[in-house]
Chains A and B, each alone.
Chain A
Amino acid sequence: MSFTSQIFHLIKKEFVLEWRQRYALSGILLYVLATVFIVYSSFIRVPDTAWNSTFWIIIVFASVNAIAKSFIGESGNRTLYYYSLMNPYAVILSKMIYNTLLLLILCLLCYAAFSFIAGNPVQNVQLFYLILFLGGTGFSITFTFISAIAAKSKNNATLMAILSFPIILPILMTLINLSANALGMIKDTAYTNDILILIAIDLILVGMALILFPFLWRD
């Protein structure tokens, strides 16, 4: 099986699994809706600064929950099966691509729920969609790799949080900075710089994850 077809089949497998056990996806969607309602009930009228930060905090927590299961959910036998059959790069890349798609849906849903319930202060909509895309990619790369590390341990839920939150911070800070721009809270014409930083961080993390994953997956 060629490398690309391996990736294709692995992504297809993820979709099939997700479709068979729909509770995982619907659970995350409900999670987003519930937290947005909590945010709304605690603010009633959500100021722009709070909109910006709570939006991204909800996305961080929802993504951790969504992605934590990507390696932790795999049984030992299935991992052994991949190990005998697949290229490690195909395994990690397919998980990252699938999780990116999942997070993009999650981000869009969160945006829709926020606009519906708490109002939509976004002024530069195109920029905001670009930020959602870059943010979803960055979160997916980091959380997928960290979940591969945390899955090896017994207390993986705690490890997932303590390993990933400090590492996600550079991406999160850049995202909040950029989306403050899209919301019109700060007028910074040099935001392309921030976008380049975000892309650079994403590329570096993908590169490191690809280099390190082959050492990680086999026991």
Chain B
Amino acid sequence: MKHWWKILGVLLMIYSIVAGLAIPLKPGIYDAITASKAITGAPIDIVAVGYLTKFDNTKDDLRAWLKVDNEHAIASTAIKVESESRLKVSFDIPNNLPSADKTVDAALIIDSKKNGYSIFPSAVFIKNTVGTNSAAGWTNAISNMTQHQGMSFPYRNILQETIRNLFYHVPLWFGMMIIFLISAINSGRFLKTKNSKFDHKAASYASVGTLFGILGLVTGAIWAKHTWGAYWSWDIKQNMSAIAMLVYLAYFVLRNSFEESEQSARIGAVYNIFAFVTLPMLLFVIPRLTDSLHPGNGGNPGFGGEDLDNNMRMVFYPAIIGFTLFGAWMANILYRLKAVQQRLLDKAFHSA
């Protein structure tokens, strides 16, 4: 079985697409609506809008808190189920705030056996109208949180369903780096052996790598539309990725600017290796220097923690391997096409 890696690549890709799209998200709070301003010493009603929640089945064990920080929270006084996705929660805010700030933001936490627990950060901003601060009335009684049962991906407030794009956007970039590396290695082997076979390989891998990069930019732009608000926000990471694509487009222009094929292959190989060395600087070094919206850049934390649980890892890592193998297969077909074209050309040349 010399084609095992192609089959493996296709299976992993199918797995990552099916599992990545079919596994549901955890139930979560989508929005928190308040009719009045939250002030100290007054009751407040918050309508929690749930996503994929089943509030109507879970009347009995519903619990809710407003949490200011890890030591200070209040439990709800009443919970009224309006529909399966709407919940009216009432709180009596104590006379004092636990911190010296004029306003504090509080997260809404809802817990039930069926839905598991979910958190909506900054649900309300509580204004201190009395002016003193003490911890009286605040407790740290949040306990016995229920985990959601069954296979699911985390619900994150900004990402929502787009969290699945992690399985397609990120593996495309991983795959691109590996494929460009293979291309650069083949260029090096060409310079060493002067065998045009390696030049065809290097060019094929570079084409597929560029395709992956462009797809990575497109999937990133779609993700950015949902999370950052625009397809293209001139973010440093987006700009540098686009520039990296320009580097490789210039490689194809350079190859085509020579009439003699040996010269085109040799100079193309030199530039390909030089370009690959600058790639990590464009994609990883420069975006860290300035502000960026992208995770892992400009002082942002990388994707991880609560964004990436073990269920997601089970799809994410196979997706990386699957995309890379699939890309290698594409490059392999391109290479064989080039080799056949070369052979036909040689044959025509010799018979003429």
Give the interface of A toward B (CB within 8 A).
145, 149, 152-155, 159, 162-163, 165-167, 169-170, 173-174, 177, 194, 197, 201, 204-205, 208-209, 212, 215-216, 219
Q: Which of B191, B269, B289 contacts A177 (CB 8 A)?
A: B289
Give the shortest distance, in Å, between A148 (CB) and chain B (any CB). 9
Which residue from A159, A166, A208, A219 sits with its C-beta under 8 Å from B246?
A166
Question: Which candidate, B206-214, B222-230, B279-287, B319-327, is the interface stretch facing chain A?
Answer: B279-287
Are B254 and A170 closer than 8 Å at their CB atoms?
no
Q: Which residue of A lies closest to B272 (CB)?
A: A212
B182: interface (CB < 8 Å): no
Chain A min CB distance to B180 (Å): 14
B176 CB to nearest A CB, Å? 16
Q: Is B243 an interface residue (CB 8 A)?
A: yes
Residues of chain A within 8 A of B275, CB atoms compared: 167
What are the residues of chain B within 8 A of A201 when measuring CB–CB? Answer: 281, 285
* Contact in complex: B277, A205 (CB < 8 Å): yes
11 pairs, CB–CB < 8 Å, chain A vs chain B: A153-B257, A162-B246, A163-B254, A166-B243, A166-B247, A167-B247, A167-B275, A167-B278, A170-B278, A212-B273, A215-B191
Further pairs besides A166-B243, A166-B244, A205-B277: 9, Cβ < 8 Å: A149-B254, A167-B275, A167-B278, A170-B278, A170-B282, A174-B286, A177-B290, A208-B274, A212-B274
The distance from the CB of B258 to the nearest CB of chain A, in whole angstroms, is: 6
Bound Cα distance A153, B274 (Å): 17
Chain A residue nearest to B240 in the complex (CB): A169
Task: Give every chain B residue within 8 A of A170 (Cβ-Cβ).
Answer: 278, 281-282, 285-286
The answer to whether the Cβ of B270 comes within 8 Å of any Cβ in the partner chain is: yes
If A162-B253, A167-B278 touch, whether A152 touches B267 (CB-CB below 8 Å) is: yes
The 10 closest A-B pairs by CB, nearest first: A170-B281, A166-B247, A166-B246, A153-B257, A162-B250, A212-B270, A215-B191, A166-B243, A167-B278, A173-B286
Complex: A149 Cα to B267 Cα, angstroms: 7
Residues of chain B with a CB closer than 8 A to A173's CB? 286, 289-290
- In the assembled complex, which residues on chain A have CB atoms less than 8 Å from the CB atom of B281? 170, 201
Kindly identify, within residues 14 to 52 of chain B, every residue whose CB is under 8 Å from any CB belonging to chain A.
none
**B263 within 8 A of partner (CB):** yes
**A interface SS class:** helix
A215 touches B286 (CB 8 A): no
Any A CB within 8 A of the CB of B271: yes
The interface residues of chain A lying within 8 Å CB-to-CB of B285 are 170, 197, 201
A167 touches B274 (CB 8 A): yes
B266 at the interface (CB under 8 A from A): yes
B residues contacting the other copy or chain, number (CB 8 A): 28
Q: How far is the CA of A181 from the CA of B144 in the complex (A)?
A: 51
List which B221-249 residues lie within 8 A (CB) of chain A. 240, 243-244, 246-247
B289 contacts A153, CB within 8 Å? no
Contact: A216 with B270, CB < 8 Å? yes
Distance A219 CA – B258 CA, assembled complex (angstroms):
13
From A152, A154, A204, contact of B277 by CB (8 A): A204
**Is A194 touching B289 in the complex (CB atoms < 8 A)?**
yes
- The answer on a CB contact under 8 Å between A163 and B286 is no
* Interface residue ranges of B249-265 to A (CB < 8 Å): 250, 253-254, 257-258, 263
Within 8 Å CB of A174, what residues of B?
286, 289
A159 CB contacts on chain B under 8 angstroms = 253-254, 257
Please indicate the chain A residues that have their CB under 8 angstroms from the CB of B254 in the complex: 149, 153, 159, 163
Cβ contact of A163, chosen from B191, B250, B282, cutoff 8 A: B250
Q: Is the CB of A152 within 8 A of B269?
A: no
In the complex, chain B residues whose CB is within 8 Å of the CB of A169: 240, 243, 282, 286
Of all chain B residues, the one with the shortest Cβ separation from A171 is B281
Residues on B with C-beta less than 8 A from A166 are 243-244, 246-247, 250, 278, 282
